[in-house]
Structure 1
Amino acid sequence: MGQLQQVERYIQEGDVDALGRLIDQLNESTDFDLLYEAAGLLADYGFMGEADRIYETLLLHLPDEAQLKIDRASTLLELGEEDEALLLLTDVGPDDEEYVQALLALADYYQMSGMAEAALAKIKEAHALAPDEPVIRFAYAELLLDSGKYGEAVRLYLDLHEETDEIGGISILSRLAETYSAGAAYEEAIPYYEEMLQEQVLPDTLFGAAFAYFQSGNAERAVAHLTDLIDMDPDYFSAYMLAGQSLSVIGEDRKAYELFKDGIRRDEFDKELQLAAGKSALKLGLADEAEEHLHEALALDPEYMEALITLASLHNEREEDIKLFELLSDTKDEWDDHPLLNAFLAYAYEREEQYDDAYVSYSKAYVGMKEDHGFLESFAKFLLEEGKRDEALVIVKELVTIIPENEYWRAYLEAQNDEEV
């Protein structure tokens, strides 16, 4: 049995001690081809430390071999030895045949490290050196997509699409659909999604197509794809939200609400579905059901501001002041400076004739609601009733600026001006 076969046998048998002894023997060998194959085999099986020992030995004998530097660098990156790996990769120069390969490895490293611009610079250099190489064009397109440069990425994917259907097991059609969607070119994405669906119907493709249709204003087609998706995979949770939203757009509010509830039954911990169900129930006039959903959303996330505002708005609209006080007192740390919630509280205090508290809440809300004429009118009336005419006059002047067509406040302001004269 050859030594390579022994390496594989010890790996498969899990005989680490025997494997270690064999690697010691291999490191004494001068059969560099054998050593190189053994290192590759070990790396393929995930024995990176053992592979690195052999690459290190090879580089001692062949210090100028660029391919060895790249292979060892890849192994070191897997082991978390980034600094040493980068030294090896940057030691591969433009005169080396493997320079483009080193650039690709550097681009991968920089991308994984979150250094997008550095990654793009390396892949751009590689592309300039080998512009016709499909793998490089694909890698360049992938980095452009990740960096949000969708137009440039699309051009590369379109060129690749004329030559091949996939690279590295990744469909070029899927990348075109994804890139157009990421760049908000949803109508351009749709034909690629539909072509993919003709080849194979997959849940992610159905969802992608549905989202593109929804964003393009074709909610009916979105519903059709999402119905197929939920039938295919009832646990594809995102489908329930988008399906409910699509049904709501086309006026099917009852069906939308039922779909949101179906989604909640599948995933009761989805706060966004609870909020959507609450809003849907409100559209249907089901206030009690809406309140229940909104409380569930807040139980899942007490800092969920949209659910808090929606529930507070419901209590304010129904003049459920005690419930509003309880809700906002329980969550005061989360919203204390929120203008709209202070406005709701001000209205409730005023209704309950707690005028000092109402004044404090009105004043806090005013800071962020100077453009809301409905709030300003309520605040102005409150100030006038409380005898705070000077403060009220400031609000009235703002009202006349915002809604000059309002005859009541314009007349009030003119009357005050006449009094001053």
Structure 2
Amino acid sequence: MNVLQELEQILLDGDLDALQDKIQKLQAANEYDALYDVANMLVEYGFVGQADGIFSELLVVFPDEAQLKIDRAAALLELGEEDEALLLLTDISPDEEEYVQALLAQADYYQMLGLAETALAKVREAAELAPHEPVIQLAQAELLLDSGRYSESVRIYQKLHESSDEVAGVRLSSRLAEAYSAGAAYEEAIPFYEELLENASNPEELFGLALAYYQTARYSEAVTRLEQLIEMDPDYFSAYMLAGQSYAQQNEDDKAYELFQKGIERDEFDKELQLAAGKSALKLQMPEQAEEHLKEALVLDPEYIDALVTLAAVYENQEENEALIELLLYAEADQLEIPLLDAFLAYAYERKEDYKKANEMYLKAYDGMNEDAAFLDQYARFLLEEGKREEALPIIQQLVRIAPHEEEWTAYIAQSEEEG
């Protein structure tokens, strides 16, 4: 067993005191090559601070060693010492062999700071110096993918994929599937996902393929993959949602509801599954179950607007005035600036014969609902019942503008003009 293997075993045994003792002996004996190997091993096992200490000492002995500067800079970046890392990297001159490697490390630095364009500039400079180096082309593609420039990244990944499916441990078919999907080119992504899944399956790739099938309206194929995924990982909660949506797209609402329920059984705190189950229950004419799911979604997130609007619509459809008013007042719907909810309150107050509040809510809802013929019709009738003919007339005129076939109201306007 050589020195590095011995130190690795000590590390695996968890005897850090013995490890430190061995390192000190190597330092005392000036075993620089061994120390360098030990530092890289420490980085591999996550002991970056200890590795940095060794790199720092080696740089005292070899201050002009460019590779040491790069290795220490990488450790410093992991430790959050970005400025010191950059100083080391920029100290490497263009005429040194390691300059291209230093440029790639600088790109990592700028990417960490969110400076994507500067990072890309460094990688492009490296590519000009080593135009046929796959690792550099890969680095450029990765930066383009991370910055949302999907079509540009695809071109590079495709070129690399022509000669190999893997560069620096990165599966190019995986990146192509990801890049195409991220750019909404789902049809193009499918062959690469299928290629990935030929030999082995993993949850992320299964879900990616299922999503691509869903987005291209291949719903039954999406369901097949999602059921496979759920069997593999029952806690992959997104799979239940997408499977339910896939069934719903095929008008198999009972199966959709079943999938949403299964997802809730695994995670009752998923508000989106609760909402989906509620909407599915409504389609199945099960208002009580729908109400239960929607209420649960609002318990999980009282500001969940979609669930609030859906539950309010349930109450409005059933003319449950008290429940509707209580829900919307509790949720402070009048502060949400959602005209539909204001309209629901107007209808409820009108049915309860609280005409003052009904009038306030009709007025508040009008600006956002003045293209909704049903709302305008109800508002006009309310005003006429209240004897407010002058206020009703512009509402009726607006209604006729958007629904000229409404003979009752066109006749009303004609009569008003004759009387006027």
Question: How has the CA–CA distance of structure 1 residues 398 and 123 changed in structure 2, closer, same or farther, with 3 Å as cutoff?
Answer: farther
Report sequence identity in percent. Answer: 60
Range moving further from structure 2, 21-30 or 371-380: 21-30
Question: How has the CA–CA distance of structure 1 residues 128 and 291 changed in structure 2, closer, same or farther, with 3 Å as cutoff?
Answer: same
Match of 1:274 in 2: 274
Q: How many angstroms apart in 1 are the aligned matches of 2:286 and 2:2?
A: 77
Residue aligned with 1:77, SS: helix
Aligned counterparts, 1:40-55, within 5 A: 40-55=40-55
Q: How many angstroms apart in 2 are the aligned matches of 1:154 and 1:202?
A: 22
Aligned counterparts, 1:11-410, within 5 A: 11-12=11-12, 14-17=14-17, 19-20=19-20, 23=23, 26-27=26-27, 32-332=32-332, 335-410=335-410
Cα distance, 1:379 vs structure 2: 1.9
Range moving further from structure 2, 399-408 or 18-27: 18-27
Cα distance, 1:286 vs structure 2: 0.7
TM-score, reference length from structure 2 = 0.91
Question: How has the CA–CA distance of structure 1 residues 274 and 417 changed in structure 2, closer, same or farther, with 3 Å as cutoff?
Answer: same
The residue type paired with residue 168 of structure 2 is G
* 1:209-229 Cα distance to aligned partner (Å, 9 max, x none): 211111111212212222222
Residue aligned with 1:404, SS: coil
Q: How many angstroms apart in 2 are the aligned matches of 1:364 and 1:256?
A: 38
The residue type paired with residue 237 of structure 2 is F
Q: How many angstroms apart in 2 are the aligned matches of 1:227 and 1:7?
A: 47
Question: How has the CA–CA distance of structure 1 residues 299 and 61 changed in structure 2, closer, same or farther, with 3 Å as cutoff?
Answer: same
Q: How many angstroms apart in 1 are the aligned matches of 2:350 and 2:401?
A: 26
Q: How many angstroms apart in 2 are the aligned matches of 1:17 and 1:149?
A: 49
TM-score, reference length from structure 1 = 0.91
Cα distance, 1:44 vs structure 2: 3.2
Q: How many angstroms apart in 1 are the aligned matches of 2:245 and 2:6?
A: 60
Q: How many angstroms apart in 2 are the aligned matches of 1:328 and 1:251?
A: 32
Q: How many angstroms apart in 1 are the aligned matches of 2:334 and 2:413?
A: 38
Question: How has the CA–CA distance of structure 1 residues 11 and 249 changed in structure 2, closer, same or farther, with 3 Å as cutoff?
Answer: closer
Range moving further from structure 2, 144-153 or 309-318: 144-153
Q: How many angstroms apart in 2 are the aligned matches of 1:333 and 1:93?
A: 64
Range moving further from structure 2, 46-55 or 71-80: 46-55
What's the RMSD between the two structures over aligned residues? 2.4
Q: How many angstroms apart in 2 are the aligned matches of 1:296 and 1:333?
A: 18
Range moving further from structure 2, 246-255 or 312-321: 246-255
* 1:151-201 Cα distance to aligned partner (Å, 9 max, x none): 111111111111112233332112111111111111111122222222223
Give unpaired runs (5+ residues) of structure 1: none
- 2:333/2:341 contact within 8 Å kept: no
Cα distance, 1:337 vs structure 2: 2.4
Q: How many angstroms apart in 1 are the aligned matches of 2:240 and 2:14?
A: 47
Q: How many angstroms apart in 1 are the aligned matches of 2:254 and 2:13?
A: 61
Cα distance, 1:310 vs structure 2: 0.2
Q: How many angstroms apart in 2 are the aligned matches of 1:197 and 1:41?
A: 33
Q: How many angstroms apart in 2 are the aligned matches of 1:417 and 1:12?
A: 94
Cα distance, 1:85 vs structure 2: 0.8
Cα distance, 1:418 vs structure 2: 4.0
The residue type paired with residue 387 of structure 1 is G
- 2:278/2:293 contact within 8 Å kept: yes
- 1:123/1:136 contact within 8 Å kept: yes
Range moving further from structure 2, 398-407 or 288-297: 398-407
Range moving further from structure 2, 128-137 or 195-204: 195-204
Question: How has the CA–CA distance of structure 1 residues 333 and 85 changed in structure 2, closer, same or farther, with 3 Å as cutoff?
Answer: farther
- 1:67/1:98 contact within 8 Å kept: yes
Q: How many angstroms apart in 2 are the aligned matches of 1:224 and 1:192?
A: 18
Range moving further from structure 2, 377-386 or 331-340: 331-340
Question: How has the CA–CA distance of structure 1 residues 412 and 97 changed in structure 2, closer, same or farther, with 3 Å as cutoff?
Answer: farther
Q: How many angstroms apart in 2 are the aligned matches of 1:38 and 1:292?
A: 60
The residue type paired with residue 65 of structure 1 is E
The residue type paired with residue 60 of structure 1 is V
* 1:75-122 Cα distance to aligned partner (Å, 9 max, x none): 111222111111111222322221211121122222233332222222
Q: How many angstroms apart in 1 are the aligned matches of 2:221 and 2:48?
A: 50
- 1:264/1:274 contact within 8 Å kept: yes
Match of 2:411 in 1: 411
Give unpaired runs (5+ residues) of structure 2: none
- 1:404/1:410 contact within 8 Å kept: yes
- 2:302/2:331 contact within 8 Å kept: yes
- 1:35/1:54 contact within 8 Å kept: yes
* 1:301-331 Cα distance to aligned partner (Å, 9 max, x none): 1111100100000000110001111211221
The residue type paired with residue 165 of structure 1 is D
Q: How many angstroms apart in 1 are the aligned matches of 2:212 and 2:226?
A: 12
Alignment: residue pair count:
420
Question: How has the CA–CA distance of structure 1 residues 117 and 389 changed in structure 2, closer, same or farther, with 3 Å as cutoff?
Answer: farther
Question: How has the CA–CA distance of structure 1 residues 7 and 202 changed in structure 2, closer, same or farther, with 3 Å as cutoff?
Answer: closer
Range moving further from structure 2, 195-204 or 353-362: 195-204
Cα distance, 1:30 vs structure 2: 5.3
